[in-house]
Structures are given as C-alpha cells and as structure tokens.
C-alpha cells in the first residue's frame, strides 16, 4: 500500500517541485516600478567600469522606471546587489578572477543575492553590462539614433553563469553610422575608426592604417637620391605607382627609423601598418625576384621584410604588432616564411563574389588562400567587403552571405575582421541593417545571420517589416537566378537589376510605406529604403521606360525623370547622404548624372 501511494504521489510532488523551481528566481532587480537592487562599483574602479555602472543604472531606470543608486560598498540589508567590475565582484566571491578573458571577455554570474557583471580592463566589464541588458532584458541599439528599450516594471533574474570570450580580438563594421561611440561600445565593436574614448573602453589604435609604403618612405623625399629603394620595373627604377625594393637593407633601416619616430609620437598605438601601396608594380630586381620565386609568392618576400621590421621594433615597442596585407599580388600564402608572433597579416577578399558564400566553389581561389594562411599565421585578420563602392545607393543583395562568411572566418583561425562598408556617407543601401548585423556576428559568429536580419527588420521598420523582407527576397532571389558575380565594384547594368526585379521590389516598398503612413519616423525609414530602386531606375531611365512599355507594365515611380530626381535628392539630403559612391561628394544635376551612365534622351 505504501509503495502504491508513493507511486501515485511522487509524480504529483515532482510536478509541484518543478513548477516551484521554474518560478524561482535568483534575485529581484525591480518590482512594480521600484528598484530592488543596488549597483556596486569600486570607488577606485577605472573609468570604463564607472561608465558601465552609469549605463546600467540609466537603462534599468528606463526599463523599470525605478531609481537605481550606485554605491561603492554593499549595504548590510538583504537587498540584491549588482556588482560591476572585478573588485566589486570580490564582495560576493573573494576568489573572483578574470584570468583568461583577455581585454574583451565577460562574466555574468549570480551568487546568492548578487549579480556579477565583470570582465578584464578596459572593455570587458562594459561588454558584460551591455550583454546582460541585451540578452536578458531585451535592449537593442539598432543604430546611433534608433533603439528598443523594453518596459518592465518588474525584473527578476534566473540563476546565471556565463563566461564568454569573443573569438575575434578586432571587430570593426566599417559603416558611417557604426562609428558612433555609443553604438560601437553597446554593440561591442572595438575597431580603430569607432569614436571610442577612454570611458567607453578605448579601441585598437593603428599607426598608419593601410597602404603605408609611400607614407613611410615618401618618394618625393627619397627617390631622387635613392632610386634603388623603389621598384625596378622592366629594368628601370620608378616611384610612379610603384612599391619598395624589399631586399634593400638601407631602405629598410630608414623605414624603421621613420616608423619608430611615428610610434613615439603615437604611444597609444597597438598596431603599426607596414603595407604595400594600393596598386601592383612590386619590385622585379634580381634579388627580389629570386626570393619571390623561392617562396612561390611575392608574399614570402613581403613577410621576410615585415618580420625583420617587427623584430627591430620589438624591444622598444613590445605591445605593438606590425600589420601587413595579403592583397592582390601578395594574397597567395608563401611556401617558406611564416609571420612572426608580433606580425598581423590582413587577407583581403576584394576579388570575391558576394552573391555566394566564401565557401562556395565560385570563391575557391580565396578559400584556398585563407586555408593556407590559417595554417601559418597566429594573428590572421581579414579585410572583407560589404558594399558596392561604385554605387553605394543601389541594391546590393549580399545579406544572405554575411552570416556564413563570418562563421567561415572564425573557423579558419581569423582573429580580426574589418568589414568595409560605405564609410563616407549615411544612407547607403540598408546601411543600418548591415552595421548592426555585422556587429552581432563579429561578437558571436555562431549566430544565424538570417535570424539577425529578420530581428533587425522587425525592430527597425515596425509594421512595415514584412514588406521590407519581401523586397529583400526579390533582389536576393534575382541575383541567385541570374548568377551575377556580385563584386564590391558592381556596375549599374547587372543582369539582376532588371525592370521586373526593380518594379516587383518597389511594389513591396510602396506597401511598406503604406503600412506606416501615419508614423512619420517609420515612413521616412522606408523612404530611405526605397532610394536604391529609385536610383537605379533614374540612371537607366530610358532603358527601363522601354522595358515597362514592352511589358505593358505600370511605371513604378514618378513619370518625369526630373520629378523622380528631385524626390530622390529630397530624401537623400534629409538622410544626410553626401556620396553616391566611394569617390565623389554631393549630387550633380540630372543631365550631368545621366551623361556619366551614357543614358541619352532621358525623357
């Protein structure tokens, strides 16, 4: 009888216990709009930790409407404490350590009635706070101007035990809006272009960012007296769009002297660029040619040169790494030489097609190179491309490859990612989406790229989101159907940019605008999203009008090209678009614009 009763009661007891456990929370941070936890930060905490505490208090207040006080010592009552930073964390765990986290790793942990948010200096504690606000309270910072901060008068936290070190030490989505310091730190970017001051944890600082041969050995200063320091091309020394003679030891000594002077003037630098100019014409003198042949790649000679410089500066600048490029003629890894421990190799994907993932056979040459470099480089960075430099404001359907590509880099020993976008203007095609999605992927490359895209669209466009998603599907399906090589210098007459694609896409964008017609802010965001289609129709006006007439289809935008242009400029100027491509500032009259694209008889 007893056994039978136990068999009957045990499942009931188990259910009751499981419900009780499910409802149990580790601590209460706020209830009914009242703060129930104090924020503790050490009185001598470094500036980034104090800023982390301030940010936590600010956003908790915005979420709950509670007044969260910041103190330096936990009180003696039984209220919960949020311990911000390493020293504060020791109030709950005297043995607490951030060993092994590096500068960016985080710990989020509950101990009794305490929540620890900490990491190593300078950025770890900041990232722990923002990760907590994002992952457990639902905060989102979509752009420098748009965020979602949920409202929850009661906040209760389950037991947490998170320890995370991002696989990429360098994370930079190189888009104009992402340079904003608050956006960058809240989305855990630490690249050299972000406006990150000391309280926001600082950043990686370059001495010379890229293409530094000429700045380090200026031809106008040295060529007349030392032509042998520069490339020999077809038997003649030249400084005209040339490189340096990397086997010339006298030149190398002068470069080291100049580099050391630059580093002394820039003591915050952690990386110094010694990298080829942005063209070909590497030296073909007998000494250089012999080494390149032995290495089966010009990268071997480049590495020998850079390794020697890295060794010569190491004693005086032990915390500075020398960065060089694997780019164009140096992209193929060498046969013999490996990078020193204090050398960063930045591999560039400029020749790739971005309508297909890098793992696709279309990108086999680059894939082979990254596999080769991953085997020999301890600090392999990648310079990746996520915009169309020729037409920043034109459909560029590469969103489906962002997630797979970042994951591919992480799987191939990449330690730093520079995702070059439209860095000279606001309002490039889906700029805020790309910056946010890339920031999330650079922090955690295991996240699903499409899930992040969907999340951004829902948060940024509100009720217009389904139509924005349908528009992006139209353009991405089109590039897959045509098989276009979607490079970072794609032309305006790509096959996927047909009248059918543009008209179908614009129909979705007009539906998106109608869905938010009573919300001026959301409507403007949709109008900015419409600009790429309008832009493409304008610069291919006659061709597209003919295609519409042939298909007996409605014309999707204004009947007059001047009216379409005026509308484009009105929205573009309101968005602060200052460039349509990488090189030229501002807008030109429509007739001049069409001449550039050889589009006669616009009417």
Cβ 395 vs Cβ 491: under 8 Å: no
Whether the per-residue pLDDT at 15 is higher than 60: the answer is no
Give pLDDT, residue 25. 64
Q: What is the 3-state secondary structure (H, E, C) of 535-555?
A: HHHHHCHHHHHHHHHHCCCCC
Whether the per-residue pLDDT at 163 is higher than 60: the answer is yes
- Token pair 């047909």 in the structure block, residue: 498
Quickly state the pLDDT bin for 10 (edges 50, 70, 90): very low
Give pLDDT, residue 523. 98
If one counts every other C-beta atom within 10 angstroms of the C-beta of residue 584, the result is: 12
Quickly state the pLDDT bin for 75 (edges 50, 70, 90): confident
Q: What is the 3-state secondary structure (H, E, C) of 90-136?
A: CCCCCCCCCCCCCCCCEEEEEECCEEEEEECCCCHHHHHHHHHHHHC
**In b/e form, how buried is each residue of 475-504, taking b as 16+ CB within 10 angstroms?**
bbebbeebebebbbebebebebbbbebbbb
- The whole-angstrom separation of Cα 491 and Cα 501 is 16
Whether the per-residue pLDDT at 7 is higher than 60: the answer is no
The domains of the chain, with CATH numbers, are: 28-165 (3.30.379.10), 205-321 (no CATH), 462-596 (no CATH)
Give pLDDT, residue 587. 81
- Considering the chain, what is the average pLDDT of its residues? 93
3-state DSSP assignment of residue 507: helix
The dihedrals phi and psi of 71, each to the nearest 5 degrees, come to: -130, 170
Cis-peptide, bond into residue 484, ω within 30° of zero: no
Whether the per-residue pLDDT at 22 is higher than 80: the answer is no
Give pLDDT, residue 593. 72
For range 335-351, the mean pLDDT? 97
Nearest C-alpha neighbor of 246 from the set 289, 294, 293: 289
Whether the per-residue pLDDT at 281 is higher than 80: the answer is yes
Cβ 438 vs Cβ 422: under 8 Å: no
- Token pair 């509670």 in the structure block, residue: 66
Whether the per-residue pLDDT at 16 is higher than 70: the answer is no
Task: Please write the tens of the pLDDT for every residue from 197-217.
Answer: 999 999 999 999 999 999 999
Give pLDDT, residue 600. 56
Nearest C-alpha neighbor of 188 from the set 206, 174, 201: 201
Q: Which helix (H) or strand (E) holds 381?
A: strand 380-385
Task: Please write the tens of the pLDDT for every residue from 289-332.
Answer: 999 999 999 999 999 999 999 999 999 999 999 999 999 999 99
Give pLDDT, residue 371. 96
Report percent pLDDT > 70 for the chain: 94
Whether the per-residue pLDDT at 423 is higher than 50: the answer is yes
In the Cβ-directed half-sphere of 199, how many Cα atoms lie within 13 Å?
8
- The whole-angstrom separation of Cα 593 and Cα 600 is 11
More confident residue, 573 or 592: 573
- The whole-angstrom separation of Cα 419 and Cα 171 is 8
If you count them, how many residues does the chain have?
603
Give pLDDT, residue 1. 24
Radius of gyration of the chain (CA): 28
Cβ 299 vs Cβ 292: under 8 Å: no
Give 3-state DSSP helix, strand, coil % of the chain, rounded to 5. 45, 15, 40
Give pLDDT, residue 11. 34
């Amino acid at each position: 009888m007893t056994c039978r009763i136990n068999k009957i009661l045990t499942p009931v007891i188990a259910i009751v216990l499981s419900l009780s456990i499910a409802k149990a929370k580790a601590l209460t941070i706020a209830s009914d709009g009242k703060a129930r936890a104090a924020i503790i930060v050490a009185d001598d905490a470094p500036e980034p930790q104090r800023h982390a505490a301030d940010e936590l208090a600010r956003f908790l207040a915005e979420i709950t409407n509670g007044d969260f006080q910041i103190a330096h010592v936990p009180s003696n009552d039984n209220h919960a404490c949020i311990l911000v930073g390493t020293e504060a964390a020791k109030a709950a765990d005297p043995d607490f350590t951030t060993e092994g986290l590096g500068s960016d790793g985080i710990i989020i942990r509950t101990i009794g009635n305490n929540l620890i948010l900490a990491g190593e200096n300078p950025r770890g504690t900041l990232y722990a706070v923002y990760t907590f606000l994002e992952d457990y309270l639902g905060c989102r910072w979509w752009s420098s101007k748009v965020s979602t901060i949920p409202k929850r008068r009661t906040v209760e936290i389950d037991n947490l035990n998170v320890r995370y070190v991002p696989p990429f030490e360098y994370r930079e989505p190189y888009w104009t809006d992402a340079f904003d310091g608050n956006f960058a730190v809240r989305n855990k970017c630490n690249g050299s272009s972000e406006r990150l001051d000391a309280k926001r944890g600082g950043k990686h600082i370059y001495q010379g960012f890229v293409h530094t041969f000429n700045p380090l050995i200026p031809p106008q200063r040295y060529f007349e007296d030392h032509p042998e320091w520069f490339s020999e091309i077809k038997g003649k020394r030249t400084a005209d769009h040339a490189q340096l003679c990397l086997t010339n030891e006298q030149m190398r000594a002068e470069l080291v002297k100049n580099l050391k002077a630059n580093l002394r003037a820039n003591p915050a630098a952690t990386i110094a660029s010694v990298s080829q100019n942005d063209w070909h014409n590497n030296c073909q003198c007998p000494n250089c040619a012999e080494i390149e042949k032995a290495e089966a790649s010009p990268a071997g000679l480049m590495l020998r040169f850079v390794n020697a410089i890295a060794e010569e500066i190491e004693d005086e600048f032990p915390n500075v790494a020398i960065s060089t490029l694997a780019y164009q003629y140096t992209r193929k890894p060498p046969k013999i030489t490996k990078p020193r421990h204090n050398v960063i190799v930045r591999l560039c994907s400029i020749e790739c097609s971005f309508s297909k993932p890098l793992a696709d056979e279309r990108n086999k040459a680059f894939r082979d190179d990254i596999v080769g470099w991953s085997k020999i480089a301890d600090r392999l960075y990648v310079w990746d491309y996520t915009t169309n430099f020729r037409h920043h404001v034109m459909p560029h359907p590469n969103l489906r490859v962002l997630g797979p590509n970042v994951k591919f880099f992480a799987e191939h020993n990449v330690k730093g990612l520079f995702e070059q976008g439209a860095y000279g203007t606001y309002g490039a095609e889906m700029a805020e989406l790309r910056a946010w999605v890339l920031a999330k992927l650079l922090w955690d490359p295991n996240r699903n790229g499409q899930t992040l895209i969907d999340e951004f669209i829902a948060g940024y466009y509100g009720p217009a989101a389904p139509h924005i998603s349908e528009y992006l599907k139209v353009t991405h399906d089109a590039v897959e159907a045509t098989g276009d090589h979607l490079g970072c210098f794609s032309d305006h007459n790509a096959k996927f940019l047909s009248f059918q694609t543009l008209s179908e896409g614009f129909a979705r964008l007009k539906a998106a605008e109608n869905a938010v017609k009573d919300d001026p802010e959301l409507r403007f965001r949709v109008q900015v999203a419409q600009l790429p289609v309008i832009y493409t129709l304008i610069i291919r006006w006659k061709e597209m009008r003919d295609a519409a007439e042939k298909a007996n289809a409605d014309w999707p935008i204004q009947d007059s090209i001047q009216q379409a242009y005026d509308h484009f400029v009105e929205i573009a100027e309101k968005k602060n678009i200052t460039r349509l491509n990488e090189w030229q500032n501002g807008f030109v009259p429509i007739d001049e614009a069409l001449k550039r694209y050889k589009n006669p008889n616009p009417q």
